[in-house]
Amino acid sequence: MTRALRHGAEYLVFSCFSYLARRLPPRWARRGGAFVGWLLGGALGVRRGAMVERLERAFPERSSSWCERTARESWRRLGREAAEFLHLSGRTSDEIGRRTRVDGLESVRDALAGGKGVLLVTAHLGNWEVGGAALVAWGVPLSVVARRVANPWVDRAIRRARGAMGIALLQAGEAHGAIRALAEGRMVALLADQDAGPGGVFVPFFGRDASTVAGPAVLALRTGAPLFLAVVVGDETSEIRHRVVIRPVPTPRTGDRGADVRRITADFTRMVEEAVRRSPEDYFWQHHRWKTRPAGSPPPEQVPTGQV
């Protein structure tokens, strides 16, 4: 199949999924999304073997059956939260606000009042897309640094959905856009838990060095903008289904810029790990977080389970 045909087929599936998610009642949209996630991860087993392996290395104390169940549940929840994101992209800010809560909002408002903007790092945990929409609904001017999706048609559709929620987008890798947004008194959010390639900073994540984006630390030190970490916690028991929990990240300045960048990056990565340990089923294990290895390290598939 050619790339154009594959992209067309993917966009057709995405469009059908999006259409149903927007038009079904919230409960049925979530159930439909969960079924699609179960179909991908359970019936079809997409990436499940790799996900189980990552879970076994991250949680060596857990059984193989637990890792298998967690991988399946991760797919189910990913489908459910994708459907919720698409459903809410067609709703008003008032409705999004009623279904979300932001813990630490006053600290963010106080930091924004300082005039240097605010940097926010977050992770692919829970419904990170709705987390951004929640911040906008609660009055935070938000710009998100986002990578483009490989499929250009799907990428445009996702960007439209984010825009409908009031989220301004910045292109990943273009620091001047983030600096300008901070100077305008906005919050700039970055997803900082994916493999950053050979140019990243290697810091521990579940006991193994992981290449991590240095951008949040570099921008914090360069601009003086306060740095926070946000994770999104789901709640199936109330109308408030998503809680955004925001915590400050220390940004020491010792005069050794390289050491400071590494320390800040290690700190927010440790905070992400703590959140994932509390709810591993909500994490995006589909991504190969340890794909890039430090110089001289064996490839990931040659590292025994539990070895760093």
pLDDT digits (tens, 9 = 90+) for 171-221: 887 789 999 999 999 999 999 999 999 999 999 999 999 999 999 999 999
Output the CA–CA distances (angstroms, integers) from residue 153 to 1, 5, 281, in the order listed: 17, 12, 29
pLDDT digits (tens, 9 = 90+) for 267-286: 999 999 999 999 999 999 99
So what's the pLDDT on residue 239?
A: 75
Q: Cβ atoms within 10 A of the Cβ of 172, count?
A: 17
Residue 296: band (very low, low, confident or very high) from pLDDT cuts 50, 70, 90: low
d(CA 156, CA 15): 12
Q: CB of 268 within 8 A of CB of 249?
A: yes
Whether 236 shows a pLDDT value over 80: the answer reads: no
Residue 302: band (very low, low, confident or very high) from pLDDT cuts 50, 70, 90: very low
Task: Tell me the average pLDDT of the chain.
Answer: 92
Centroid of chain to Cα 113: 26
In terms of C-beta distances under 8 Å and separation of at least 24 residues, what long-range contacts does 31-36 make, across chains too?
31/80, 32/83, 33/79, 33/80, 33/81, 33/82, 33/83, 33/84, 34/76, 34/77, 34/79, 34/80, 34/83, 35/79, 36/79, 36/82, 36/83
Give the tokens for residue 226: 């306060």
pLDDT digits (tens, 9 = 90+) for 59-90: 999 999 999 999 999 999 999 999 999 999 98
Element (H, E) at 93: helix 93-98
Residue 299: band (very low, low, confident or very high) from pLDDT cuts 50, 70, 90: low
Give the tokens for residue 148: 């483009």
Give SS3 for 175: helix
Give the tokens for residue 23: 């038009």
So what's the pLDDT on residue 297?
A: 65
